[in-house]
Homo-oligomer: A and B are copies of this chain.
Amino acid sequence: MIEPKIENYSEVWERPARFDELASLLSEIGRSFYARGWVLGTSGNFSAVVSRNPLRLAITSSGVDKSQLAADHILQVNAEGKAVAGVGHPSAETLLHLMVVNALGARAVLHTHSVWSNIVSDIQAREGGVRIEGFEMLKGLAGVSTHDYGEWIPIIENSQDMVALSESIAQKLNEQPRPHGFLLRRHGLYTWGRDVAEAKRHVEILEFLLEVLGRTAHATGRGSY
C-alpha cells in the first residue's frame, strides 16, 4: 500500500486566469452537474481563482437554479468574500471556498449535494470519515498513480456557523496525508484542483466512488464498509 505525497498546488498559484472564461466554464459544469442530479434545488456552489494579488475568486451567486446557470450568475469576490463585481450575493459558503483556496493553493473548488454523498456521509459519520481503497478510479485523483492506494475522506459534522465550520475543516486539511476532498455530514462533497478541469474530474471520481461504496453496502447488507 503506497500513500503518495499529495502535491501542493501553490507552484501554479501565480498563474492569472480570465474571469469571463472561468465564469463560462463554471456555469457549463454547473448545468451538467444539475443534469446528473448533483445540484438540485439551487444547491451547490462553484469557484475558481482569478488572481492572487489581490485575491479574486469567481464564485456562483447564491440561490440560482443550476439548470439555468449562466456566466452572469458568477460573481467576483475578494479575500474577505465581499462581492467586487457582478449581480447577486455570494453564497454563505464562500468562506469555505476561500479557506480551501488559501490552505491548499487550489485554483478551483466545487461543491455538490448528491444522494450518495448524503447517504455515505451519514452512515460513516461515527468513523469520522470514509476510507476509499483499492479502486482504479482513485488514479483520477491528482498525484495518485496506482489503485493500490487508500484515500481517507474526512466527514465533518454540518454547521451553519461558517467560522467554526471553516476551522474544523482547516484542521482536517492539515492532517497528513492531505485528502482530495471532504464530506459535510448529510450535506455534500467539497473537492478542488489546480484548475477547473481537475476539480471537475475530482467531483466525478469521488461521486463515482461514493456511489460504489453506498451501493456495495446495500449489496452486502452491511450498513458500514
Contacts and interface: CB of A to CB of B under 8 A. Distances in A.
A42 B140 contact: yes
Contact of A40 (B41, B188, B205): B205
Interface in A40-94: 40-43, 65, 67
Contacts of A186: 134-136, 147
A107 interface: no
A119 B212 contact: yes
A93 to B, nearest CB: 10
7 tightest Cβ-Cβ pairs between the two chains A and B: A136-B187, A41-B204, A40-B204, A41-B140, A41-B205, A220-B223, A135-B186
Given A65-B201, A208-B41, A187 B135 contact: yes
Question: Which of A41, A145, A202, A207 has the largest count of B CB atoms less than 10 A from its CB?
Answer: A41
A220 B123 contact: yes
Contacts of A123: 216, 219-220
Contact of A223 (B136, B184, B201, B221): B221
Interface residues on A, range: 35 or more
Interface in A175-218: 184, 186-188, 197, 200-202, 204-205, 207-208, 211-212, 214-218
A220 B219 CA distance: 9
Given A119-B216, A119-B219, A122-B216, A158 B187 contact: no
A148 B160 contact: yes
A99 interface: no
This chain's copy number in the assembly: 4
7 contacts: A32-B67, A119-B216, A136-B158, A146-B160, A147-B158, A148-B160, A214-B219
A166 to B, nearest CB: 16
A187 B147 contact: yes
A115 B40 contact: no
A42 B201 contact: yes
A97 interface: no
Contacts of A135: 118, 186-187
A95 interface: no
A36 B67 CA distance: 13
